Chain A
Amino acid sequence: MTTRGSFKRVIIDLHRSATDQSAIALASELAAAMGLELFGRFIPPPGLANLAQLPFAREFRPMEREWRPLDPERTAQELELAAAAARRLFQRAAGAVAQRFEIVEDQTDGLHPEEDIAVLRYAECLEESCALVLDEALRSAAAVLIVPGNVRPRRGPVIALADSPEDPALDVAATLAEAAGETAMGLDVHGRDHAPAPPGARLIVISRHALPDDALPALATHKRVPVLVLRRPV
């Protein structure tokens, strides 16, 4: 069973979200509140190096509105620059929290499914069913922080949506509320299929299966509140 003591890292993938400073800031805030390490990963697009070696390979650059041939050397340089930029942005947004940045080749490299909290930006799951993306994320992490689009830092209670008094969401929410100087609120969602959280919450903590999977990303995006989903054996 997941408890607050079992988490070690908050992981955020920067190749897709380095420019989303609010997501990094939220991840950093969560890491600081729980005393965890913030781990930023930059994963170069798989297969890009192969493509760059093909003679007709080219890329479309939206900013320049033109096609440019892909060159292996230049592509490598640009990836390097992108990684460096991601690192700089990550460090700036992360602030003083304990942090680490790495360039990894594979999505699953170095993950610890029992210790990691993964950050999932809502925008990342739009191409697929969010429930599926969440499910996949929870296979390689102990918890997932769903960050809605246009989230803004706000004050308010940390709300635990719990389906029983033993629900670990209550314990985690209490920890986070104490660290943030907020109040913790527990709301019973037993037998419900939607969340009753009041507006103005700073963070919602919920254990998976307390609500259906597809309700969880919606909870974040409709209320524009980050949601921390804890994996829990059924």
Chain B
Amino acid sequence: MSDTSHPAPLPPERLRRTADLASLAFQSTAELTPFDGFTGQERALGAVRLGSAIEKPGYNLFAIGQPGLAMQQAVETMLREASAAREAPPDWVYVNNFTEPHKPVAIRLPAGRAAKLGDALRELIEDLKATLPAAFESEDYQKRRGAMDEAFQKKQAASFKELNDKAALRGLVLLRTPLGFAFAPAKNGQVVSPDEFHKWDEAARLKVEEAMHEMEKELEHIVQQMPAWEKARREEVRKLNRDTANFAVGRLIDETKAKFSDLPQVQAHFEAVRRDLVDNVGMFVGKNEGDEGPVPTTLPGGPFDRYDINVFVANDPANRGVPVVHELHPTLGNLTGRIEYLSMQGALVTNFRLIKPGALHRANGGYLLLDVRALLAEPFSWTALKRVLKRGEIVIEDASHFLGLASTVTLEPDPIPLDLKIVLFGERILYYLLAQYDPEMTEHFKILVDFEDDFERSPKNESAYAKLIAAMAMHDKLRPLQREAVGLVIEQAARLADDSGKLTLVTDQIRNLIVEADHWAAQSSRKQIEQQDVQYALDQQIWRASRIRDRDQEMILDNIALIETTGQHVGQINGLSVMELGGFRFGRPTRITCRVRPGSGNVIDIEREVKLGGPIHSKGVLILSGFLAGRYALDAPMSLFASLVFEQSYGGVEGDSASSAELYTLLSALAEAPLRQDIAVTGSINQHGEIQAIGGVNEKIEGFFDICRKRGLTGTQGVAIPASNVRHLMLRQDVVEACKAGQFAIYPIATADEGITLLTGLSAEALNSKVEQRLKAFAKIRQRFGEAETKAKPDDTP
């Protein structure tokens, strides 16, 4: 007698693992010490410790994990704790470069000194605004200046007077014409009229003419000397102005300079300020003759802004610890700093005061946290960051100049030495892609911080999770959770981990659940969050997201989508699939059918033929063919043509979780053995007929259960799942209750033989025999057709 037994349904306690909080005595989370560490992330946190401790180039961190793992919070907390005792990093200022204004000078100052330097310089300039004009208004200056002017004018005047006197002795007079000078014959100081001149005899006229030529040479000589005299005068005035300015500014600058005597770079800047003040004293006293005036590149801003400083990075020495900066919008400008421009008279102008720091500057001396997806999404930012890391200094880069979009004069500020660690956060795929395609990535980010998605669900860890829940409630100022509520949250953590033996570390979803449960508790005027609040919050979450699922189930219940949940059919089975839309997953049954006839050994996957099947799905069907060939066609060519299809499937199909269902359908069609429609099937198969684990087992079971329940549970319905998926079961409570009541069943299946026995009620041997017989019959038919065709047409064409 053949064996028609099949695996027994799973006992209810295997369908959902309840939380075990026996080792933790508490009634509500208010009694628990909140867990302030990061549960289950020892590997990642060890990497953070290592990365933050190695002070060498390239030892930056790349933290990867699922979104919602609170990686940034974990890393930031660790970095802040590790650097709490470190001194604040230095301040940085940009000052004007008086000799090359387009190259502002960066000066490093001890923390807290930048603002003081700025105040001191501004005070100095305010003082100079009063002191310098007074020096130039002084009696002494005015006398010396007046004497210079007078001496110059007298020198000029004396030269012309002497020339005039000489001319008079020669009977000439010097005239000023509109554009120059001329000598004219004169009599009694008056120019001789032409008539009178023509009356003079030839000798007199020649004498005058000769005298004029001689005097002209002297005039020429004087005029040629005049620019030199003027230049000498201007030099004298300039020297006087410089001496006066030097005297006036000297004491004030020395006093200010003394406050920064410990800073040689600042001392040098004060000397540059002194030189520039002396050269441009006209700014303070109105433009004097001999002054050069301010250099025009100081625009925009007032004339005195050239002496101001740009407090670029300021740190407070009173605050211990280094900066930990999280840049949410890492554009090139936000990252490396930028140079701003002002529009003045239609031109874009800038100066050292318009240099703005980027996140790299603000984080310098500490840590910069960046989301790698945001970083990669910004043009130029990733490559700019790598350049900064390669150079070891922060250079402000301007994208518009890279692209040639701007042709304005810009600045080349001194680069600032880089002294920070960068921590990138992102999904694993981004890390792996970068590692594969960008060889520089691993050069600059040597420390991988790989966060776990879940951790082992032991009693000890459940207790730790309870404390983590307590910490979340406290952090978000929520009501305490009752013990039973905590248990349900932990069970949900296992469900989210897709494994009854794991707890998810994607705590964002857990936090959302608690926040919503707190809301519902408040609605019911409860002082604590009870289990029913958590359950209600879960139900509400599903309800809000399940519009598509509900419509889909309606289609099945209304027999628009054909799914039978009772009876038997040859070559037809209920497979199970999972849909994920916007983070919500739900399972749904799908009818899979198979038709067979004699053929050349092909199993046609209609999904693949019409390009609706993905590669993994197609792989599953090909494996199925391999199984068939290995088991049934050992002594004759496989003479089968079979077509498999997901009925009423109009989208793509991917995954191999239906391959066992497809095999059962095929075997049913071959053996002409009807399959139970009240059992839905999931699981992939290998070439040896072993059933392998699939994903989304809970959702798949619940999807079929919902349809059966709505039609009315018969007590025979259930789902066949891979035995290796049993550990993943964290089914809804209503499914568990139905199984407990004998209304529904979950069958763990390890082999195709177990499955086919469950679905047909036939032993594997009996069914295999029928399959063999059918295949042999197909082979004979094919053989007959082959002979007939060979006779008719020697060049056989199928």
B147 within 8 A of A: yes
Q: Closest Cβ of chain B: how far from A149's Cβ, in Å?
A: 4
| Partner-binding segment picked from B155-163, B526-534, B635-643, B735-743 | B155-163
Q: Which residues of B contact A223 (CB under 8 A)?
A: 142, 146
Please name all residues of chain A whose beta carbon is closer than 8 Å to the beta carbon of B192 when the two chains form the complex.
Answer: 50
Quick check: B220 and A60 within 8 Å, CB to CB? yes
Contacts of B149 in A (CB 8 A): 148-150, 221
Contact B160 A127 (CB under 8 A): yes
Cβ of A70 < 8 Å from any Cβ of B?
yes
* CB nearest neighbor in A for B144: A222
Interface membership of B302, Cβ < 8 A: no
- For A57, the chain B residues whose CB sits under 8 A away are 182, 184
CB-CB under 8 A for A127 and B182, given A50-B191, A149-B149: no
CA distance A78 to B142 in the complex (A): 39
Taking CB atoms and an 8 Å cut-off, the chain B residues in 183-223 that contact chain A are: 184-186, 190-194, 197, 209, 212, 216, 219-220, 223
Using known A-B contacts A56-B212, A224-B145, determine if residue A63 contacts B179 with beta carbons closer than 8 Å.
Answer: yes
A94–B768 alpha-carbon span in the complex (Å):
121
Quick check: is A199 within 8 A (CB to CB) of the other chain?
yes
Given A47-B190, A60-B216, A79-B178, check contact A126 B154 (CB 8 Å).
yes
Cβ of A200 within 8 Å of any chain B Cβ, yes or no, is yes
CA distance A59 to B185 in the complex (A): 13
B128 at the interface (CB under 8 A from A): no
Question: Chain B contacts of A82 at CB under 8 A?
Answer: 178-179
B177 touches which of A59, A63, A65, A150 (Cβ 8 Å) = A59
CB proximity to B under 8 Å, residues A64-108: 65, 67-68, 70, 75, 78-79, 81-82
Interface presence of A123 (CB below 8 A): yes
Is A58 part of the contact surface with B, judged by Cβ < 8 Å? yes
Contact assessment for A78 and B175 in the assembled complex, using a CB-CB cutoff below 8 Å: no
Q: Is the CB of A75 within 8 A of B177?
A: yes
CA distance A82 to B220 in the complex (A): 23
Identify the closest chain B residue to A44 (Cβ).
Answer: B178
CB-contacts of B117-169 with A (<8 A): 137-139, 142-143, 145-147, 149-150, 153-154, 156-158, 160-161, 164
Residues of B within 8 A of A47 (CB): 173, 175, 184, 186, 190-191
CB contact list, A195-234 vs B, under 8 A? 199-200, 221-224
> Is B180's CB under 8 angstroms from A61's CB?
yes
A60 and B154 contacting across the interface, CB-CB below 8 Å: no
Any chain B CB within 8 A of the CB of A111? Answer: no
Partner of A122, one of B137, B153, B161, B173: B153
User: Is there contact, CB below 8 Å, between B160 and A54?
Assistant: no
* B144 CB to nearest A CB, Å: 10
Query: Which B residues touch A67, using CB under 8 A?
Result: 216
Q: Does B289 sit at the interface, judged by CB under 8 A?
A: yes
- From 147 to 161 in chain A, residues with beta carbon under 8 angstroms from any chain B beta carbon are 148-150, 152
Q: Which B residues lie within 8 Å of A222 (CB)?
A: 142-143, 146-147
Assess whether B157 is in contact with A126, with CB atoms less than 8 Å apart: yes
- Of residues B139, B219, B289, which shows the largest number of chain A Cβ atoms within 10 Å of its Cβ? B139
Interface pair B194/A54, CB less than 8 Å apart: yes
Q: Which residues of B contact A199 (CB under 8 A)?
A: 137-139, 142
The residues of A that contact B263 with a CB separation of less than 8 Å are none
B630 interface residue per 8 A CB criterion: no
Instruction: Please determine whether A54 and B216 come into contact, CB atoms closer than 8 angstroms.
Output: no
Q: How far is the CA of A175 from the CA of B742 in the complex (A)?
A: 119
The bracket for how many chain A residues form the interface is: 35 or more
Which residues of B sit under 8 angstroms from A65, Cβ to Cβ?
223-224
B182 contact set on A, CB distance < 8 A: 48, 51, 57-60, 70
Q: Tell me if B67 is interfacial: C-beta within 8 Å of chain A.
A: no
Please, how many angstroms separate the alpha-carbon atoms of A53 and B198 in the complex?
A: 11
User: In the complex, A36 Cα to B647 Cα: how many Å?
Assistant: 110
B contacts with A: majority SS:
helix
Does A110 sit at the interface, judged by CB under 8 A?
no
Within 8 Å of chain A (Cβ to Cβ): is B584? no
CB atoms of A60 and B181 under 8 A apart: yes
Is A5 positioned at the interface, with any CB of B under 8 Å from its CB?
no
- A62 near B: Cβ within 8 Å? yes
A150/B289 in contact, CB under 8 A: yes
A53: contacting residue among B179, B186, B194, B219, CB under 8 A:
B194
Task: Please give the distance in Å from A214's CB to the nearest CB on chain B.
Answer: 13
* Contact A152-B193, Cβ < 8 Å, known A51-B182, A59-B179, A224-B146: no
Chain B residues near A75 (CB, 8 Å)? 177-178
Contact of B180 among A59, A128, A200 (CB under 8 A): A59
Does chain A have a CB within 8 A of B793? Answer: no
A59-B177, A60-B216, A81-B178 are known contacts. Are A50 and B223 too (CB-CB below 8 A)? Answer: no
B193 partner, pick from A50, A148, A150, beta carbons under 8 A = A50
Say yes or no: is A165 at the interface (Cβ < 8 Å to chain B).
Answer: no
CB <8 Å contact, B226 and A51: no
- By the criterion CB–CB under 8 Å, are B181 and A224 in contact? no
- The verdict on A126 contacting B216 (CB below 8 Å), with A54-B185, A82-B178, A224-B145 known, is no
- Nearest CB in chain B: distance from A156 CB, A: 9
- The answer to whether B181 touches A59, judged by C-beta atoms less than 8 angstroms apart, is yes
The answer to whether B176 has its CB under 8 Å from any CB of chain A is: yes
> For A61, what are the chain B residues with a Cβ–Cβ distance below 8 Å?
179-180
The distance in angstroms between the C-alpha atoms of A61 and B176, with both chains bound, is 10
A148 contacts which of B146, B160, B184, B286 (Cβ < 8 Å)? B146
Among B178, B186, B209, B219, point to the contact of A60 (Cβ < 8 A). B219
Given contacts A82-B178, A223-B142, whether A56 and B286 have CB atoms under 8 Å apart is no
Distance, CA A81 to CA B179, complexed state (A)? 11
Contact A127 B177, CB 8 Å, known A54-B184, A148-B146, A224-B145:
no
Instruction: Kindly list chain B residues whose C-beta atoms are within 8 Å of the C-beta of A191.
Output: none
Closest Cβ of chain B to A23, distance in Å, is 14
User: Which residues does chain A contribute within 8 Å of B185, judged by CB atoms?
Assistant: 54
Complex-state Cα separation, A57 to B208, whole angstroms: 11
Shortest distance from the beta carbon of A26 to any chain B beta carbon, whole Å? 16
**B181 cross-chain contacts in A, Cβ below 8 A:** 59-60, 62
Q: Are B178 and A78 in contact (CB under 8 A)?
A: yes
Q: Which residues in A have their C-beta under 8 angstroms from that of B190?
A: 46-47
Q: Which residues of B contact A126 (CB under 8 A)?
A: 153-154, 156-158
Q: Is the Cβ of B180 less than 8 Å from the Cβ of A152?
A: no
In whole angstroms, how far apart are the Cα atoms of A229 and B180 in the complex? 32
- Compute how far the CA of A54 lies from the CA of B184 in the bound complex, rounded to whole angstroms: 9
Q: Which residues of B contact A127 (CB under 8 A)?
A: 157-158, 160-161, 164
Asked if residues B180 and A51 are in contact (CB atoms below 8 Å), the reply is no
Closest to B209 in A: A56
CA of A50 to CA of B173, assembled, Å: 12
Task: Report chain B residues within 8 Å CB of A78.
Answer: 177-179
Is B177 in contact with A123, judged by CB distance below 8 angstroms?
A: no
Residues in B neighbouring A68, C-beta threshold 8 A: 180
Q: How far is the CB of A196 from chain B (nearest CB, A)?
A: 11
Min C-beta distance of A46 to chain B, whole Å? 7
Give Cα A150 to B220, complex, Å: 27
Contacting residues, chain B, for A123 (C-beta < 8 A):
153, 157
Chain A residues near B216 (CB-CB < 8 A): 58, 60, 67
Cα A81 to Cα B286 in complex, Å, equals 34
CA A127 to CA B161, docked complex, whole Å: 6
Chain B residue contacts of A81, Cβ below 8 A: 178
Q: Which residue of A lies closest to B185 (CB)?
A: A54
Shortest distance from the beta carbon of B229 to any chain A beta carbon, whole Å: 13
Docked-complex contact B137 and A70, CB < 8 angstroms: no
Minimum-distance CB pairs A-B, first 8: A47-B191, A126-B157, A82-B178, A51-B184, A61-B180, A59-B182, A53-B194, A78-B178
Q: List 28 A-B contacts (CB under 8 A).
A: A46-B190, A48-B191, A50-B184, A50-B193, A56-B212, A59-B177, A59-B180, A60-B181, A61-B180, A62-B226, A63-B179, A75-B178, A78-B178, A79-B178, A82-B179, A122-B150, A126-B153, A126-B157, A126-B158, A127-B157, A127-B158, A127-B161, A149-B150, A150-B145, A199-B142, A222-B147, A223-B142, A224-B142
6 extra A-B contacts, CB within 8 A, seeds A45-B175, A62-B226, A128-B161 = A63-B180, A78-B178, A149-B153, A152-B286, A222-B146, A224-B145
